[in-house]
Amino acid sequence: MSAVLQMESVFVFVLGIIVGSFLNVVAYRVPRGESVVAPRSSCPSCHTVLRSVELVPILSWLCLGGRCRHCGSTIPVRYPILELVTGALWVATLWWIPNWPARVAWAVFWVLLVAVAGTDLTSMRVPNILSLPGAALAVGLSGVCGVHGWGQTLLGAVVGAGVLFAIHLLSRGSMGLGDVKLYLSIGAMLGPLYAMESLVMASLSGVMVGYGLRMSGLMKKREPMPFVPHIVIGVVVIAFFGHPLTEWYLHNLLATGV
Ligand SMILES: [Zn+2]
């Protein structure tokens, strides 16, 4: 790895975790209808306004051992995870995506996706105020930045949301309308085929993690599980490994049927 790319990676990672830290604010406040700019961050339990040193992404959580230094209440592990995931996705985008316009489009899309995963984790909701402007932004960025041509972008959005809407109807609402709206932007960024592959991956992740959590007793049997984090996993896998996975699938599974 060249020295320039190393420096770029560090810069992009630090910027990514700072943005991730803001996404934690979004995830907590947007479902409550609160402003994301004011007031300053405070502990949800004791309401002490947090000092700058308590707001350093990842490090503050680690140094404080995941507890508020004033009242000792637990700070969910979601906080450092959302920060780390945003930073890691931005670095992966720098490494995997070959040109800057497309990198910018992906970086913005990851911000949307992590924010929505956050609101789903805090409140089991995908707020329209994130998913709908996010869809318009993803369609615009995918087309303008050349992630896909306009045809694939629009087809992806329509197929993505359309298939999810069909599942919403068939599942009698187990698949929420929030997920349907979220797939407008996912379809725009991945195109129709990869959007469907991401859904398969998300479902696999949901089944496996759900099974694991229920077996280990961390989740009750009928307790609903936020699905957007699994959607993020599916989209990440397909965004970065969609090509080799599709090749492998065509080579191994379809070839055996010939
Ligand atoms: Zn506190």
Distance 245 CA to ligand 1 centre (A): 46
Instruction: Please tell me whether residues 160 and 248 are part of one structural domain.
Output: yes
Q: Of 73-77, 89-93, 170-174, which range is least confident?
A: 170-174
pLDDT value of residue 103: 97
**Average pLDDT for residues 45-65, to the nearest whole number?**
94
Query: In this predicted model, which residue has the larger pLDDT, 257 or 77?
Result: 77
Q: Is 122 within 8 Å of 31 (Cβ atoms)?
A: yes
**Of 79, 107, 118, 100, nearest to 239 (Cα)?**
107
Distance 18 CA to ligand 1 centre (A): 22
Tell me the per-residue pLDDT of 184-215, one tens digit each, with 9 for 90 and over: 999 999 999 999 999 999 999 999 999 999 99
pLDDT value of residue 258: 54
pLDDT value of residue 174: 83
Return d(Cα 102, Cα 105) in angstroms, integer: 5
**Average pLDDT for residues 5-32, to the nearest whole number?**
97
Distance 41 CA to ligand 1 centre (A): 11
Place of tokens 């932007």: 185
Distance 70 CA to ligand 1 centre (A): 5
Q: What's the mean pLDDT when you consider all of the chain?
A: 94
Q: Which residues contact 113 (CB under 8 A, 6 or more apart)?
A: 182, 185, 186, 228, 231, 232, 235
pLDDT value of residue 220: 87
Instruction: Please tell me whether residues 89 and 120 are part of one structural domain.
Output: no
Instruction: Please tell me whether residues 140 and 82 are part of one structural domain.
Output: no
Distance 43 CA to ligand 1 centre (A): 5
Distance 21 CA to ligand 1 centre (A): 18
Tokens describing residue 241 = 């490994």
Q: How far is CA 59 from the centre of its chain?
A: 21
Distance 39 CA to ligand 1 centre (A): 16
Instruction: Please tell me whether residues 111 and 227 are part of one structural domain.
Output: yes
Instruction: Please tell me whether residues 73 and 10 are part of one structural domain.
Output: yes
Instruction: Please tell me whether residues 157 and 73 are part of one structural domain.
Output: no
Tell me the per-residue pLDDT of 203-256, one tens digit each, with 9 for 90 and over: 999 999 999 999 998 888 888 889 999 999 999 999 999 999 988 888 887 777
3-class secondary structure, 51: coil
Tally of domains in the chain: 2
**Average pLDDT for residues 15-37, to the nearest whole number?**
96
pLDDT value of residue 257: 62
Distance 74 CA to ligand 1 centre (A): 8
Question: Residue 73 carries which DSSP code?
Answer: P
**Average pLDDT for residues 70-94, to the nearest whole number?**
96
